[in-house]
Amino acid sequence: MEQDITEAIVHLVLQLAIILVAAKVGGEVCLRLLKVPPVLGELAVGVLIGPFALGAIEVGSLGALFPKPQAYLEAGAGIPLSHELYAFAQVASIVLLFTAGLETDLKLFLRYAGPATLVALGGVALPFAFGVGATVLMGFASSWMDPAALFMGAVMTATSVGITARVLSDLGRMDTPEGVTVVGAAVVDDVLGILVLTVVVGVSAAGGVSAAKVALIGGKAIGFWVALTGLGILASRPISRLMGAFRVAGAEIALALALALLGAALAESFGLAMIIGAYSVGLALSTTRLKRELDEPIMAVYHTLVPVFFVAMGMLVDLPAMGGALVFGLVITALAIVSKVVGCGLPALATGFTALGAARVGVGMLPRGEVALIVAGIGLTRGVIEGDLFGVSILMTVVTTLLAPIMLVPLFRRRGPGRRREDAAPAQASAATGGHGDGDNS
């Protein structure tokens, strides 16, 4: 047993070394040569060195560097990475969203809570309808209530805030009206996505699900998020003073990260994604003295750990699985793009954003990322969808995840206010001064 643990640790350490080098090389190529966000390079090298590509090749006595775990080989679905590596990547995602919370302007966030909610509603309703309808019309499901159609709709509703948060952070646009609206909408989207998935799983398992159960799960998730954010804001200044009282080196960054991890664990236990809890903790601390003290140390942790998350996301991509139902996959991908951009952009436009600002919001909600892959994996493991629809989900996820940063960068670099009337001048000033710069933090 001790030998097995030692081998697992050595293998994980080797994997992390390879991932960090590959991530920085991929990011450098994208930033220096291709002039695109480094996150694209991290995703691309993840696909390249992952368990479905070079990572599966045997390397002498080391074996495969990124082998598929036995559980994945037996089930044919799930997470194709070791539990250790995937857990490390999740910790990295917590750091990402905690940092995003710290960089968010709390007053702007609260000011745009209403628009963010409307954006999230549009970003769930339209993609779900498009996903279900396309699956039925193209003959991959027998009716609108077919579990396969419902699962495709659920996959379409997903939004991975990690990708957009990284791009906004790199561009220094996290504290713009568009930035806070996208992140706020992604939080609400996560809650709504949980409700959609609950209904779909209930229908597929028992042919139906009670309204009481859906209301209970939704109320629990929303209540926890509001309570965590509210209590965090109220307690932020005493917490900041308490942390500042420590004299031991590195106490503030260590204790702040401990709070982020605690918030993430609590969020998961209440049915929300861990990254939502981490974001709420960062948001609560964003107005305190602690934020200024954390700026430099948190970015050092960020640049070390966060690339691991994006490389691991790339490793989830199974390119051969995209071969089946290619035409349907292209249709679903096109609908996924249109439904999110329109479904989120129109509510943004209706709540005071300019056409440019609404486009930024719509594209910011575009990436599906690991959220869609997890939902699709649930459908496959439960036998609700087959390998062809799983491949379609992967194709849609990869394209939307890769496309979002490519589209977001020119939209934010284009001059012009994101909001109409009273918000136009502040938004334009923010865009002109722009925080970290175009990619300097990568």
Give residue 253's pLDDT: 94
pLDDT at 393 exceeding the cut of 50: yes
pLDDT category at 206 given cuts 50, 70, 90 is low
Given a contact cutoff of 8 angstroms between Cβ atoms, the answer to whether 212 and 158 are in contact is no
Token readout for 238 is: 């005493």
Residue 219 amino acid letter? G
**Average pLDDT for the chain:** 83
Mean of pLDDT values over 154-171: 81
pLDDT at 336 exceeding the cut of 90: yes
Q: Is residue 376 in a domain?
A: yes
Give residue 428's pLDDT: 43
Please state, in angstroms and rounded to a whole number, the distance separating the CA atoms of residues 165 and 103: 10
Q: Is residue 42 in a domain?
A: no
Please state, in angstroms and rounded to a whole number, the distance separating the CA atoms of residues 337 and 402: 12
pLDDT category at 31 given cuts 50, 70, 90 is confident
**What is the tens place of the pLDDT at every residue in 146-161?**
888 888 998 999 887 7
Token readout for 397 is: 């996820």
DSSP 34: I
| Exposed e or buried b per residue across 394-425, where buried means at least 16 C-beta atoms within 10 angstroms of its C-beta | bbbbbbbbbbbbebbbebbeeeebbbeeebbe
pLDDT category at 437 given cuts 50, 70, 90 is very low
Residue 193 amino acid letter? G
Please state, in angstroms and rounded to a whole number, the distance separating the CA atoms of residues 206 and 294: 49
Mean of pLDDT values over 140-145: 85
pLDDT at 2 exceeding the cut of 70: no
Give residue 285's pLDDT: 92
Q: Is residue 16 in a domain?
A: no
Q: Is residue 32 in a domain?
A: no
**Is the model more confident about 200 or about 208?**
200
Structurally, the chain folds into a number of domains equal to 1
Domain of 142?
84-433
Q: CB count, 10 Å around CB of 234?
A: 11
pLDDT category at 374 given cuts 50, 70, 90 is low
Give residue 217's pLDDT: 73
Report which secondary-structure segment, H or E, holds 280: helix 274-285
| Exposed e or buried b per residue across 162-186, where buried means at least 16 C-beta atoms within 10 angstroms of its C-beta | bbbbbbbbbbbbbbbbbbbbbbbbb
Give residue 421's pLDDT: 67
**SS3 letters for 62-127?**
HCECCCCCHHHHHHCCCCCCCHHHHHHHHHHHHHHHHHHHHHCCHHHHHHCHHHHHHHHHHHHHHH
Token readout for 201 is: 């799983």
**Is the model more confident about 198 or about 65?**
65
SS3 323: coil
SS3 181: helix
pLDDT at 229 exceeding the cut of 90: no
Please state, in angstroms and rounded to a whole number, the distance separating the CA atoms of residues 315 and 54: 10
**DSSP-assigned letters across all residues of 258-278:** HHHHHHHHHHHHTTS-HHHHH
**Is the model more confident about 163 or about 206?**
163
**What is the tens place of the pLDDT at every residue in 298-308?**
999 999 999 99
CATH (domain of 409): 1.20.1530.20
Mean of pLDDT values over 64-73: 85
C-alpha distances in angstroms, 219 versus 181, 184, 196, 214? 22, 18, 14, 8
SS3 353: strand
Q: Is residue 343 in a domain?
A: yes
Q: Is residue 204 in a domain?
A: yes
* Lowest-confidence region among 16-25, 122-131, 182-191: 182-191
Q: What's the CA angle centered on 77, arms 72 and 82, to 5 degrees?
A: 40
pLDDT at 425 exceeding the cut of 50: no
> If you count them, how many residues does the chain have?
442
C-alpha distances in angstroms, 230 versus 84, 106, 180, 330? 33, 12, 17, 42
Q: Is residue 4 in a domain?
A: no
Please state, in angstroms and rounded to a whole number, the distance separating the CA atoms of residues 364 and 345: 10
Question: 59: Cβ–Cβ under 8 A, 6 or more apart, which residues?
Answer: 65
First to last CA, the chain: 40
